[in-house]
Structure 1
Amino acid sequence: MSLIKNIFRKSSLALVAGLLLLGAPAAKAQDAVAGKAIFEGNCAACHSMDADVVGPALKDAHKRRGDEWLVKFIKNSQEMVQAGDKDAVALYEKFNKVPMPAFASSLSDEDITNVIAYIKAESDKPVAAVAETPATPTADPGVAVAPHEVAFSDLPLAVHITIALSGIIILLIIAVLVMLFRLFVPMLGDSIYDEDFRSSFAGRVLFLMRGDTTLMTGKAKDEIHSHHDFDGIQEYDNDLPPWWKTMFYVSIVFAISYMLHYHVFNTGALQAEEYEMEMEQAAILAAMTPDDPNAVTNYEVLTDAVALEAGQAIYNANCAACHGQEGQGTVGPNLTDEYWLHGGDVNDIFKTVKYGVPSKGMVPWQGKLTKDQMLEVSSYILSLQGTNPANAKEPQGEKM
């Protein structure tokens, strides 16, 4: 009889242990499901699993820091920064000193544990392998193909020979000119010093090569102008430098050509016309790029109760983590006063929501929210004006 009891007792223990083991994964999965809902409501605005957003990527965060550290950091990150925790300080410095909201008062220990369980579950998911098939380029006669750069060594042999022959011909021409110069100059003898030859262009070139800069600077005649004596200051009739006179004549020709081109024949566009053409081109480009942040919008504030309720739901799900449930401002600025960092008109707020301000930690919401949703949340934000919530953040920006 005792033998039967022992067998029964051992079997019961084994059964209980098996049920516990089977139930553990289910419990963990349930924790991860609850953690996902908490994550999406409080963390998704600033964090992603695989990429840095406002805060760091969270994949394998539990392996890098440990569960205990994560719990403390989620509860109050700034407390850890002020205490000098090196990992907390490093994250704070890396992400532009944007403080993470403290969740100690809004999330329980169980909620935080569930969020960590969700992070673990997402981190353990296998990465889906994507088979990359090389694209086969097809020639399109209507599309211009970018030129392919070819190294000099890869050019055909005929091109190399042509370049080499061209260099040899240029060197031979220079050598012949030098030989002719050395041959004929001695034959001229002292005649090269005659004033007629020396004042000629050929003579000036010859003496320039021998160090005389008269061709470039002009001749110093040292002849005093008659009746040009003022208080002992005398004016000499020296030549202007030929390069200066050449540029002066060229500028006269250019001025006449400019006047004829722009003001007589009207074949050139003046500044006003160029401005209009550039504005037309900019308008065409803006039409081709619907996500141009400089595009003009003319949205009107939504005031009906249904739109504002929808905007409030979107705000609570996506914006309250950084701006507070009542818009009082936490990480982000206070949205209930008259001061704005990026404009307080509904179109300005819409653009801020859509494109974000990544340098200050504001993430862009285009692609995550539709145009109607962004307009609803922008209108709801404007409805918070003057509500004066408790613990409101100090004003930032300019008064509107």
Structure 2
Amino acid sequence: MNVVVKEATTTSRILIHCDLDAFFAAVEVLHHGFDDETPLIIGSDPKQGRGRGIVSTCNYAARVFGVRSAMPISEAWRRCPGHPYGPARFISGTRGLYSRASRKVMAILRDTCSIFEQASIDEAYLDVTDEVEGDWDRALALTRDLQRSIQEQLALSASFGIGPTRILAKMGSEERKPGGIFRIMPDEIQDFFRGRSMREVPGIGPKRATQLAEWGLTTVDEASELGELALARISGERFASWLQRVAEGESSSEISPIRSRKSIGKEHTFETDQSDHESVLHQLEVLVNLVMNRAQDLGVSGRLGEVKIRYTGFETHTSGRSIPVAMDDEGVFLRLARQLFATNVDASASVRLVGFRLGQLEIPDTKQTMLFDEEE
């Protein structure tokens, strides 16, 4: 386990972001007693490279071969074939296992503080400011205890980030994956962003990063030092204002324990139930486009994306994930929807209906775009 320890005091909020490491694959490894050094790929039947489904998720051993969630299962087989042609193990997954394991993890986290937000099945934010009385050292000790409890009680690995804002806490949890803890205190924010690539900020996308790189801006501190007015001429006022606030540690520190009921959604029922999940995913992408166009027409942003899947026989499942701040960018929610679909669809079932919902709507003073990480 890697732990970064630094010292400071502040009156800022103290937020913790917990991200379970390769959660779905880790649960399957435990349940089946697999060797975690063996590449494990969860998804549709690969049919020795002829399958038409997608990868739900995979463990770290499979990621070494370039396998990723939402990748066509045939491509995953090409990169890392299964027995007897290669080292990988392909399974369809057991969705009920993930929900049960998630509930146990969230119970451990929820009991720690009064302000708690489950962002997805494998992520959560905690505001522990009051519980640790604003003491960052106590927050680090609390985080260690949480990590130890999850490991000892459930045999699951979790990475943690500690910071004064949602974005910094989330970036911290990515810093020492898997199984690490990283703390960013208010007086360390400038040092944290110095030399840090734009793409490391939770979800500045490739298009935005390329746009800035064309002007010689490849790191967060370079863009921040340019100044908001000059940056706005390159990237627009909304992005410039947001990035400046992120770099100064002034972005959102609000943890919301209650999910907003206000939402925009679209659904599509297929004429015949679909076993080709690549086709279903394409239809989901169309729905995301419609929803985000509607949100932009209304001038609202959202923080919650939800994917709804109804199978033959009307069995229906909904999965969602919250992002650090409200946004109205289609690319952000396309990536989120693909990830949710890939990790939650039943690889062996035919789909009757698919839907997408944008929730936790806001009418922000300054709406933001391009802010979401592409990998779990």
TM-score range, shorter chain: under 0.3
TM norm structure 2: 0.21
Tell me which protein shows more helix as a share of its residues: 1
Tell me which protein shows more strand as a share of its residues: 2
TM norm structure 1: 0.20
Report 1 or 2 for greater relative contact order, CA contacts < 8 Å, sequence distance ≥ 6.
2
Rg (Cα) greater in structure: 1
